[in-house]
A and B are shown apart, each in its own frame.
Chain A
Amino acid sequence: MKKSWWARVAAVLAGAGFSLCAHAQQEVRIGVLYPLTGPAASVGAELRSALELAADIINNGAPGVSELPLSAGKGLPNLKGAKIKLVFADHQANPQTGATEAERLITQEKVVALVGAYNSAVTATASQIAERAGIPFLNPESSSASLTQRNFKWFFRTTPHDDLFVHNAFDFLKELEAKKGIKAGVVASLNENGLWGTETTKLQTKLAPEFKQNLVKQVMYPAKTTQLTSEVQTLKAANPNLVLQSSYTADAILSIKTYKELGFSPDMILANNAGFTDTDFIKTLGKDADYIITREVWALDLATRNPLIKQVNDLFNSRYKINFTGNSSRTFTGLMVMADAINRAGSTEPEAIRKALAATDMPGSKLIMPWKGVKFDATGQNTLGQGILVQIVGGKYNTVWPFDMASREVTWPMPKWDQRK
């Protein structure tokens, strides 16, 4: 019968396919899930370059980066020199698409592990699929704290999350007083009232007394607003020395303009990334952006303290004509950590890879990040990661904290608006 004949042919072909796969042990297939099109496409393109560089260093080697793990160019030595094969999937910054693509990578592309997915919302859905399928999922750059609060067994995150970043701000204030003798004084906060700003506000309320900071006023506002007059007047009435601020781009710009308009000059604005590190922030505000301190995850001037950063960035720049950013450096690091774990596992069995990931203990000297290293806790969160603080001076971001990585001394207080040249 025709039908059963076809079925038999199909079965034979499938069998042949499987045996071919079994023989092709020279390749370790890692699924990488990123926004290659859609609203975050420009970031996606950057991350793709970082991933390709990492895979190429492992597979073919690169000169002058001997500190980097697996940089000899012999593939994964414990898997008979197997090469890394990246299987790209595009989630378009859409959580639904992210889940479908994760499913496809696992069931059809037969990847042994997943790395992704930049957008926190997509990481959430895609890692759920990996959890169900029992495939290790490593997230290098999504910062929503809730991702590692789900008790997942197969989920690992190398980047510090939002809560840690808020914590970092208070660590900084403590060290500032202890090591530089600068007291923050009266503190107020201005946060947008979305999920991120609300979580930040709650955490600040909790941390301020623990760190003995005098937090007198917390103002929240809608990010899509036409004016920030009442917010700034409320701050002004509280008369703080330090403002902790979490804003997106348009509202960050508007807030600084309103501070200036209403003559509100605190000693310092300590911002929480987002709008304050958008390239448009300095461009639109010019000298009014100067002296603001903001949290960051990475900065090029870290290279002055860690030569590996310059070496890897030079490789990246010579190939793609762009420098690393906080995003691409973290994605690069994520793939490196995953490759190192697969190598230590000496196997492409998911369970073996998961165990190797859980046992990861990579020192900071082997990373291009300003971290103490990579070591995961039971929730899969890297406990050795930390943010940095950069201060804008002369229209550039300069690392000022942690003090042992600083390229510049902190300038505190910042000059009042009408005393700027």
Chain B
Amino acid sequence: MTTEILLQTLASGVLIGLIYALVAIGLTMIFGVMDIVNFAHGEFLMLGMYSAFWLFALYALDPMITLPLTVLMLFGFGVLLYKLVIVRIINAPMLSQIFTTFGIMILLRGVAQFLWKPDFRSIENSAVSGTVKLLGIQLGKPQLVAGVGAIVVTGLIYFFLNKTRLGAALEATASDKEAARLMGIDSHKMFSLAWGIGAACAGAAGVLLSTFFPIFPDVGASFILLAFVVVNLGGFGSVSGAFWAGILVGVIEVMGGLLLGPQYKTAIVLVLFLGVLMFRPQGLMGKA
């Protein structure tokens, strides 16, 4: 095992970790603001991938160009879903909320399979393809661009939450709904904003993935489990926690797989996760 392989693996781990982070940020946002666990989150990612695929296949528009469009579409979809469905279960028991988002997951998967068939699709020869050599390690351009894209989107969200009035209102709602309402913040508006941004994050991750990952109706299933681990690890509702936890999970999965054997890679991540739950149940960066 050479240093070159170790470095390359580390880099790959960081890059895939950035994608995990982006998926998890959307999930943690919805949870943080509303205390609802969104099981359909992986399906938002799937919709993002299909959006990129169809815009590429039908109009020959590169995923990197259509990224803002897809993000907007998914934002709209998230808001719509909130206004049509989620708003009815805000005060429902947790089980009803779980079954609602779970039902949306199955519905979206079924609709995708019906409309687009269970075929595996992929985007070939997009503007970013091929590999680059950086400091002696070889990296795929799509992965590199996806990683950079994930950082940019996360940065924008971080800026939005911390430097804008609307972001501050969202944060306020997340930390105390009642107090925020007393301050004149419209909580429904904040909730739909959270769903919009949450779906948009997953959609962005889907577009970034679409240049190097096969696209199929069940694709969300592979990512959602890891996203839940990342959200827990980072602390429920913590955006920066989800960001660092995403990278951590990516690196541990890939490096652990290389050093201890790929058959253990998921187990290693879950053992780490259990460890954190035992000793720091609020997550690495969550508030107790």
Binding site for B on A (CB under 8 A): 193, 219-222, 224-227, 229-231, 233-234, 236-237, 249-250, 253-254, 257, 260-263, 278, 280-281, 284-286, 418
How big is the B interface, by class? 35 or more
Pairs of residues from A and B, 9 with the lowest C-beta to C-beta distance, nearest first = A230-B257, A261-B140, A284-B122, A280-B120, A229-B12, A231-B262, A230-B258, A253-B214, A220-B263
* Contact yes or no, B5 A230, CB < 8 A: no
Quick one: which of B236-288 are within 8 Å of A by CB? 253-258, 261-263, 265-266
6 new A-B contacts at CB < 8 Å, known A237-B2, A250-B214, A253-B120 = A219-B262, A230-B253, A234-B258, A250-B120, A263-B138, A280-B119
Residues of A within 8 A of B2 (CB): 237
**Closest chain B residue to A229, Cβ basis:** B12
Contact with A along B1-26 (1 / 0, CB 8 A): 11001001100110010011000000
In the bound assembly, the distance between CA atoms of A260 and B138 in angstroms comes to 10
User: Residue B102 at the A interface, CB < 8 A?
Assistant: no
Task: Answer whether residue B104 sits at the interface, using C-beta atoms and an 8 A cutoff.
Answer: no
List the B side residues contacting A222 at CB < 8 Å: 263, 266
Q: Are A284 and B212 in contact (CB under 8 A)?
A: no
Identify the closest chain A residue to B258 (Cβ).
A230
A-B contacts, 11 of them at CB < 8 A, read A222-B263, A225-B222, A227-B16, A229-B254, A230-B255, A230-B257, A237-B2, A254-B214, A261-B140, A284-B122, A285-B122
Which residues of the partner chain A approach B20 to less than 8 Å between Cβ atoms? 226
Which B-chain residue is minimally distant from A262 (CB atoms)? B138
In the complex with contacts A229-B13, A230-B258, A233-B258, A254-B138 CB distance below 8 A: no
Shortest distance between the CB of A201 and any CB in chain B (Å)? 10
CB-defined contacts of B120 to chain A, threshold 8 Å:
249-250, 253, 278, 280-281, 284
Would A227 and B254 be within 8 Å (CB), given that A253-B122, A261-B140 are in contact? yes
Chain B residues, CB < 8 A from A250: 120, 214, 216, 219
Taking a contact as CB atoms closer than 8 A, the residue among B9, B119, B124, B212 that contacts A230 in the complex is: B9
Q: Across the two chains, which residue of chain B brings its CB closest to A191? A: B263
Interfacial chain B residues near A253, Cβ < 8 Å: 120, 122, 214
Question: Is B49 on the interface with A (CB-CB < 8 A)?
Answer: no
Which chain B residues border A254 with CB–CB below 8 Å? 213-214
Closest B residue by C-beta to A275: B120
Q: How far is the CA of A236 from the CA of B12 in the complex (A)?
A: 14
Q: Which of chain A's residues have a CB closer than 8 A to the CB of B143? A: 261
Q: How many angstroms between the C-alpha atoms of A144 and B266 in the bound complex?
A: 27
A220-B262, A262-B8 known; A230 and B222 CB under 8 Å?
A: no
A389 to chain B minimum Cβ distance, whole angstroms, is: 23
**Contact indicator B5/A233 (Cβ below 8 Å):** yes
* List of B residues within 8 angstroms of A278 by Cβ: 120
User: Shortest distance in angstroms between A254's beta carbon and chain B's nearest beta carbon?
Assistant: 6
CB distance from B257 to the nearest CB of A (A): 3
- Which residues of A lie under 8 Å from residue B255 when comparing CB positions? 230
Residues of B within 8 A of A231 (CB): 257, 262
Complex-state Cα separation, A220 to B264, whole angstroms: 9
List of A residues within 8 angstroms of B261 by Cβ: 234
> When the two chains form their complex, are residues A286 and B124 in contact, meaning their CB atoms are under 8 A apart?
yes
A237 lies within 8 A of B5 (CB): yes
The one of A229, A234, A263, A284 that contacts B16, using a Cβ cutoff of 8 Å: A229
Are the CB atoms of A234 and B216 closer together than 8 Å?
no
The answer to whether B79 has its CB under 8 Å from any CB of chain A is: no
- Complex: how many Å from CA A280 to CA B20? 26
Task: Tell me if B164 counts as interface (CB < 8 A to partner A).
Answer: no
- Chain A hits for B214, CB < 8 A: 249-250, 253-254, 284
Q: CB within 8 A of B265: which of A230, A260, A281?
A: A230
In the bound complex, what is the Cα–Cα distance between A418 and B132 (angstroms)? Answer: 12
Residues of A within 8 A of B122 (CB): 253, 284-285
Which residue, of B12, B121, B124, B143, has the highest number of chain A Cβ atoms within 10 A? B12
When C-beta atoms are compared, the residue in chain B nearest to A236 turns out to be B5
Name the residue on B nearest A249 (C-beta). Answer: B120
Residue B131 interfacial (CB < 8 Å): yes
**B-side contacts of A257, CB under 8 Å:** 140, 212-213
What 0/1 pattern do residues 118 to 147 of B give for CB contact below 8 A with A? Answer: 011110100000010000001110110000
With most chain A CB atoms within 10 A of its CB, the pick from B20, B119, B142 is B119
